[in-house]
Each structure stands twice: as C-alpha cells, then as structure tokens.
Amino acid sequence: MAKAKRGQKAKAKKPRQSSPSENEDGPTDASKRFNMAVKQEDGDFAPQQMGRKRKRQDVPSASAMVQKKTTLKKEDGEVSSGTPRKRVKKEAEEKIEEEEEGPTVSTKRKRTKKEIEEKEEGNTVSTKRKRTKKEIEEKEEGNTVSTKQKRTKKEIEEARALKIKKKEEEEQQRWRWWEEEKYEYGVKWKVLEHKGPWFPPEYQPLPKDVRFYYDGQEVNLSPAAEEVALFFAQMLDHEYTTKEVFRNNFFKDWRKEMTHKERVLIQDLNKCDFGELHNMHKQKVEARKSITKEEKLVIKEANQKIVEEYGFCLLDHHRERIGNFKIEPPSLFRGRGEHPKQGQLKKRIWPEDVIINCSKESRIPEPPKGHHWKEVRHDNGVTWLASWTENIQGSVKYIMLNANSKLKGEKDWEKYEVARRLKSCVASIRQHYQEDLKSKQMATRQRAVALYFIDKLALRAGNEKEEGETADTVGCCSLRVEHLTLHDHLEGDDWVVEFDFLGKDCIRYYNKVPVTKKVFKNLKLFMENKQGGDDVFDRLNTGLLNKHLSSLMPGLTAKVFRTYNASVTLQQQLRELSNMTNNQAEKMLSYNRANRAVAILCNHQRAPPKSFDQSMANLQTKIDARREQLVLAKTNLKEAKKEAKSSSDPKLQTVVERKKKAVERCEEQLLRMEVQATDREENKQIALGTSKLNYLDPRISVAWCKNMEVPLDKIYNKSQRDKFAWAVDMTERDFQF
DNA sequence: GACGCAACTTAGAATGCTATAT
DNA sequence: ATATAGCATTCTAAGTTGCGTC
C-alpha cells in the first residue's frame, strides 16, 4: 500500500535548468567569504554557529547565535517569542562569557567536596557517609563518647578498604575488548546467553470502592476496559488529555477493548467521569513518596533482584549489562508534537509476541509459565537479544546491550574513527560540492546545496516520512519551500537564508544564515514556481545523497558530518577557551562552554524545567533582598566615614574598614547571584547531554583532562566513564581528533 | 531507483535519587 | 525532619542507514 508521502518528488514541478551565466558567480565577495570561513582552523570549515556566527557576536550589531535560534517548540499554537526575548538573551550570553563561573563554581565546588570524600572514604552508602561526617564533626568538637569515635575510625578505614577493593575488582572484571582482535565482518558475537526479557506484572483490577461513572451513572467496567480507562485517568493532569487528537484516538481504541454492552453504553468521552480513578492514582503517588526508609529498602532490593536476574547477559564469556531488559508496559502512546497517533493504545506485549535471539548452545531462556516465545533464533549477525513488533507504527523494538558493553562501545569507537577520516578529506569534499553548485545537472546542484547545509549547519539528512503516520518534521533533504525564506539583505548581511522548521522530536530549528551567492542563487532557482508544501530538493533524497557521499569516502554518510563538526568544534573551542593558568572552576567553565557551543550547533534543546519560573522567581527575591542589604551596608559605611572624619579616634578607622569589607562582600554575592540567574536563563532550553553522549569524541575530553590536570570525573559521571572506558584507557595527552 | 523493512543510533521527557537548605 | 534542587537514570520515541526485492 503506497501511502502518499509528503512532497512527492514526482509531483513537484521540474524547475528549469538555469543557464550557466545565471549562476556564474565569479570570484566575488561570496567566494571570498566562503574561503574565510573555510580558513577557520587547520583549513577546517568551521561550522556556522561556532565559526562565523560566534565570531560575529563580538560585533555589536550582530546578534548572538543563541538568540537567533529561538528555541521554543511549535505546539498548541504557542507562539515563539522571538525578538523581545532575544535581546535579553544576548546580554545574558555576553555576561556569561565573562561571569558564568558564579553558579558553576558553586555547584562544582560542592561536587568536588563530595567526591573527595567519596575517594577518601570509599564508595559507602550515603547514610553511612553522612554519619561518618557527622561524627567527625562531633569528634572535632570534642563532644563525642570515645566508643563512638573508635567505631567511626574503624568505619572509615573499612569503607576505604572496601572502596579500593571494589574499584580494583571492577577494573579487573572490565572487559578490555578494545585490546582484542575484531571479529570478521558481520559477526557480532560467538556466544550469547540470557534470561529473556522481564515482563511487567499483569493488570490488577481496581478495588470496588474506586468507581467509574458514565453520564452520572456508576459503571462496573470489565478488566480490559478498566485497565485502559486507568491509563487515561492517570494522565488527566497531563496536557495530552486535553488534545483533541489524543482524546479521539484514545476513545476509539478504548472502545475496542470494551465488551459489547460497554460499547453500547459508552458513546461519549465527555460523559466519562474518571475522577475516582484519577484520585486513587494521585494518592498512590503520594503514598509512594512518604514511605519509610525500610519500605524503600525493600523495594530497592526487589528491584535489584530483578536487575540481577534479567539485567545481564553472557556475551562471549563476559557478563554484560543489558540496556533495556524490561518489556515496555502497555500505555497510551505519547508521540512528540502533533503526532496523529497520540493517545492510541499501546498494547501489552506477551511472550507469544517476542522473538528471542541467543546462541544455539546456550541455555534457551524460559518463557513465563503457561506461555511460549514467538520464535527462538540464533543470529549472530545482529546485536539484539529479543525483539517484538509494536502495534502503533508496526516497527520492531529490540532489547539490546547497555552503552558500556563491547557491542555498543566498539561501534561508537568506529563512528569516531570514521569522523576522523572525514577530517583528512573534508577539504576536498568541500571543494567538490562548491564545484557542484555550478553543475549543469539540477540533481547535482541540489545535492551540493544540501551538503552545504549539512556541513555548515549540522542539519540531519532528512528522510521522507509517510504522511499521517508521524508528526510533520523534516531534515535537510525533506525541507519544503515553506521552511525557508530568502533575504537578499538582512540585518547587514547579504544572501541570508531564514530557516524555520520542526526537526527531530518536533524541536524547532530557527536560524538566519548568510550563505554564499552561489548557494543563494541556487536556492532561488530550486524554489521558483513552487508552493509552500513542495520540496526544496525535489531531485534529491537521503539515499542518493548517501550514495554520493560513500563514493567520496568509504563509510561517509550525512550523519558523519554532524559527528565530525561537533567533535572538531569541541576541540577547537577547548583550545581557544581553556588556559592552564586557570583554576579548576575556570577550566570547567571553559569545558562547559565548549560543550554548549556544540549543543547549540546541533540544536539540542530541552523544554524549560517545570519549576523553572518558580526557581527563577525565588532567586530573584534573593537578589532583591541582597540588593537592599547592599544599600543598607552602603549607608552604614557613609555614616562610619563621617564619624571617622569628625573624630580622631583611630578605632573608628577600623570600623570604616570593616564596613567597607561588608559592602564589598555584599556586592560580590549580589553579582554572583545575578550571574547565576543569567546563566540559568541562558541554559533554560539548552541540553548538553546529547552532544556529550553521542557526538563528542570522548578522547578529546580525556586528553583535555590530562592536559589541564582536571580529574576525569569532573566532566564524566560514572556511567559516562563506563561508556567511554575504551577512550579513557587508550587516550594519551597528545590525542588529536 | 523506489520501496519497505530491519537494525541500530540519537533524542528529550519523565522519573528517581541524593545532597543540601530550611 | 522535611522540602527542594539538581543531577543521574530510565524510558521509549524518532531518527539514520543499509540491504533485499521488484
């Protein structure tokens, strides 16, 4: 069934071939401009945000990159507050460039202390550590009973020993797969054994006193209908349940789960009263919050048991953690953005739906009692342990290994090696697509412009999507005319392309980019005589693009450019921003700034935290209070000065000094808080984690830590260190991406 | 070369946990 | 002792890519 795809290439009107003269740019400013950009560093064409744009921030009239990329999501007709906010943001950013350390210092300091303690005392349970700390204090005060002291000392020692032992054990157990020879192509493992996935518990019907009403009348729902009703009731506080599409999809699927009788009765969602179900759920959540320590421990231990049993597998004689060993429980589908399928029932997965993959000679996992697997296969050409087909999109879901596993790590390493290979040939590739901008073939020109965007702006490839199956999002190749606005001149720049579209996860990409004359002219040509809904690149798709790329360099695809430009940007920014003479907090600041530059380049955003406005307001009241305090301190100082002048008492002079100090301290604190506020505002919508985890070659960071003498755990937490163990182990300080 | 699907990476939101502030 | 903030972890949706098929 060939469903209509948005922007059918065949339908799009064929743009006429341009005459050569029309596109002959000649050695104009355009090419000079481009060359300038190309010349960034090591002959690298620095990506737009960090290269050209960032530089231009210094020019007063130029607006900062951050502000250009307005980050609001386009949802529910929420209008992105473009300009007014931008101004604020720009000032904010400039300040941060100088002062960001305020908040960073404080949080970092805290962590440092904590971590030092961890190091010294061993990886003890927090309660233990707390007690120890307390007791040390008591000891210092000389208030403690001697027996207690002794125990404390002993405890500390024991804990320390335990930690060291544990660390050693961990190190010893770590599979140093990166020192082993790789398997032949296509072979992912030789032996794979596991227990199969963990299944969520079956539905437990509600107690009788929790009732559902239809049209004011109590209805005793069948278990199947009740389960689905509860999914909806649990979400009542969520915005989803107010959306028309969500409600309709839910209601339609819910009715499918009803008995005939129920279906006849329940015809209108608006007449459904889920109040008691909703309240029960809320109470449960509350109850969970206020349980005792003991109960918490019991739950924790039960969870640990599950992890112990199902959370690991044996891969080629090494115990490896599984990333997602739990079968996804049934629920209402929560698509991102305006997803046409939001609210549909995501059905319960039974063992009968699940395919198991393991080695022949291993112990085959046992299906839950009374059930059987859909299939057991032994395919060592794939990495998954189990899979099932999900009912919303009909796509396959997999159970795979954790990021710290060999299978994932090796692939990750490979990814960065491919990106590094791109580094050595990126110059010629750029030259190549510059040439292609003048091609007689429309398809070639389109490919060249698309590549230019992918390289310069780190856009994703942009596959075609089936209309009506997913939210309407695009990437580079699937850009439509309505997503671009061409400006011959804009804000002092020539040939500016204004991008405004929803990308992956319905994250808005908004950017105004000065491009070369050739690119600009080509775009005009591509968009000529087209409607807003037509594809800009009607002769291009990701397959064609990637085919071309792989002919330029083995393994090269569109997404390699993202990895490459992200990593290169990090390295360059680190070199530019960090300084050995800085203190640790300042070094951390430069690292985070470099990281942030990449996040901006890759357009990694998050929704502002729920409590954002509140915590912002709290901070503001603190600032106001401090400000008042400062005024008071200043008047006090004046008074003191006056008195000191009119009297010859030398004591008064010291009073003046003291008051002066107080004013200074107050000013300092005020500044720090203001910077913190600015920083928080700035980071409101920027997510650093994704780039750190997926785009930045960890060896750059490891080498930086070594060179800067910053402990690695300042930039990578435990799981990140585990994921990047290969890089931590092999990277020397002279590593260059 | 278009298409569909399998397999895998990348993504932000939701939730959980812990240290710190009150 | 409790509330809160902020980071870590979990969850699963949403991308990219390659391959087989016609």
Q: Which long-range CB contacts under 8 A does A540-543 form with residues at least 24 apart?
A: A540/A443, A540/A446, A540/A447, A540/A450, A540/A477, A541/A9, A541/A463, A541/A464, A541/A477, A542/A461, A542/A462, A542/A463, A542/A464, A542/A475, A542/A477
Does the C-beta of A688 come within 7 A of strand B?
no
Residue nearest to nucleotide B17 (CA to C1'): A126
Over residues A152-166, the pLDDT tens digits come to 555 555 555 666 677
Q: Is strand B in 7 Å reach of the CB of A728?
A: no
Residue nearest to nucleotide B6 (CA to C1'): A396
Q: Which A residues between 555 and 614 have a beta carbon under 7 A from any strand B atom? A: 559, 562-563, 602-607
Element (H, E) at A498: strand A493-502
Distance A476 CA to C15 C1' (A): 13
Contact, A9 CB vs strand B, < 7 Å: yes
Residue A115 has pLDDT above 80, yes or no: no
Q: And the tokens for A20?
A: 């050569």
Residues 6+ positions from A704 with CB-CB distance below 8 Å: A574, A578, A591, A710
Q: Measured from the CB, is A328 under 7 Å from any atom of strand B?
A: no
Q: What does the H/E/C string look like for A191-227?
A: CEECCCCECCCCCCCCCCCCCEEECCEEECCCHHHHH
pLDDT 10s digits, A191-205: 999 999 999 999 999
- Of A14-23, A241-250, A449-458, A636-645, which gets the smallest average pLDDT? A14-23
Q: Name the residue with the least CA to C1' distance from nucleotide C17.
A: A557
Given a contact cutoff of 8 angstroms between Cβ atoms, the answer to whether A410 and A182 are in contact is yes
What CA–CA distance (Å, rounded) separates A384 from A598? 31
CA distance A437 to A521: 10
Q: How far: A389 CA to B6 C1' (Å)?
A: 11
User: Contact, A605 vs A691, CB < 8 A?
Assistant: no
The residues spanned by each domain of chain A are 118-174, 192-198+311-402
The answer to whether strand B lies under 7 Å from the CB of residue A507 is yes
Supply the pLDDT for residue A157: 58
Give residue-wise pLDDT tens across range A128-144. Answer: 333 333 333 333 333 33
Q: Which nucleotide is nearest to A323 (CA to C1')?
A: C10
Q: Can you give the distance from the CA of residue A462 to the C1' of nucleotide B6 in angstroms?
A: 19
Give the residue carrying structure tokens 């807003």: A532
Please give the pLDDT value at position A155.
54
Instruction: Say how far A2 CA is from C22 C1', in Å.
Output: 14
3-class state of residue A539 by DSSP:
coil
Starting at the edge strand found earlier in the chain, the sheet holding A508-514 runs: A484-490, A493-502, A508-514
pLDDT-derived band at A173 (thresholds 50, 70, 90) equals confident
Which residues in window 438-477 of A are less than 7 A from strand B by Cβ? Answer: 460
pLDDT digits (tens, 9 = 90+) for A524-549: 999 999 999 999 999 999 999 999 99
| Share above pLDDT 70 across residues of chain A, in percent, rounded to a whole number | 77
pLDDT higher than 80, residue A78:
no
pLDDT > 90: percent of chain A: 61
Say if residues A28 and A516 touch (Cβ distance below 8 Å): no
Determine if strand B comes within 7 Å of the CB of A109: no
Q: Is the pLDDT of residue A303 over 70?
A: yes
Mean pLDDT of the region A98-115: 30
Cβ-contact A499, A511 below 8 angstroms: yes
- For residue A553, is it left (φ>0), alpha (ψ between -120 and 50) or beta? beta
**What is the per-residue pLDDT across A229-238, written as a single tens digit (0 to 9) for each?**
999 999 999 9
Q: How many CA atoms lie within 13 A of A583 on its CB side?
A: 6
Query: Measuring CA to CA, which residue among A677, A509, A572, A692 is closest to residue A55?
Result: A572
Q: Which one-letter DSSP state was computed for residue A18?
A: P
Q: How confident is the model at residue A465 (pLDDT cuts 50, 70, 90)?
A: very high
**Protein-contacted positions of strand B (CB under 7 Å):** 2-14, 16-20
For residue A411, give the nearest of A568, A183, A208 by alpha carbon.
A183
Alpha-carbon gap, residue A276 to A210, rounded angstroms: 6
Q: Is the CB of A58 within 7 Å of strand B?
A: no
pTM for the predicted model, two decimal places: 0.78
Strand C bases near protein CB (under 7 Å) are 4-9, 11-19
pLDDT at position A317, please?
94
A59: alpha, beta or left, given left = phi > 0 and alpha = psi -120 to 50?
beta
Q: Calculate the CA dihedral of residues A177, A181, A185, A190 and round it to 10 degrees.
A: -60
Residue A136 CB neighbour total at 10 angstroms? 15
pLDDT digits 0-9 by tens, A1-11: 444 555 444 33
Contact residues for A735 (Cβ-Cβ < 8 A; gap 6+): A699, A700, A702, A703
Domain at A192-198+311-402, CATH homologous superfamily: DNA Topoisomerase I, domain 2 (2.170.11.10)
When comparing pLDDT for A9 and A402, which is higher?
A: A402
Q: Is the pLDDT of residue A37 over 70?
A: no
Rounded to whole angstroms, the Cα distance separating A667 from A684 reads: 25
CA of A25 to C1' of C16 (A): 34
Does residue A547 reach within 7 angstroms of strand B, measured from its CB? no
HSE-up (13 A, CA, CB side) for residue A393: 16
Angle between helical axes of A517-527 and A442-457 (0-180°, round to 10): 120
- pLDDT on residue A169: 74
For residues A538 and A51, the answer to whether their CB atoms sit within 8 Å is no
Q: Annotated catalytic sites of A, by residue?
A: 695
